Amino acid sequence: NYHNFNLLAVYLPKRPSDSLLTLVRDDARFQDAQTVRQAYPESWALTYFLMKARGKQFAAYLHDVGQLRPLAEEPQEKRLQMFEKHFGDPSELDRAFMTFVRNIR
């Protein structure tokens, strides 16, 4: 999706170091008109990365997410723990994610 990729390219130079964590912990960036234009393309790219580079882990993560109560607001800690269970240290994953994103053509 070129539109999302272009929005992400604009965001990357000013992307904060905790950007991945803020996507995983809660939905605040998607609920704020000022940040949704960065959150959506980053989440799109993260999904693409996880499908391509961590497919089995991503499928297991989605299975666990599917077991949660529909439309329930989960605590930040629980969301982060579930993410770490499947993908390990978020900072290591973020480095791999950024390398992947910078090599998308």
Kindly report, residue by residue over 38-84, the tens digit of the pLDDT: 999 999 999 999 999 999 999 999 999 999 988 788 999 999 999 99
Q: Is 88 helix (H, G, I), strand (E, B) or coil?
A: coil
Within a 13 Å sphere around the CA of 102, how many CA atoms are in the beta-carbon half? 9
Rounded CA-CA distance 83/57 in Å is 10
Quote the CA–CA distance of 38 and 35 in Å, as a whole number: 6
CA angle 36, 5, 32 (to 5 degrees): 0
Rounded Cα distance between 43 and 69, Å, is 21
Question: Whole-model pTM?
Answer: 0.91
| Integer Cα distance of 94 and 18 in angstroms | 9
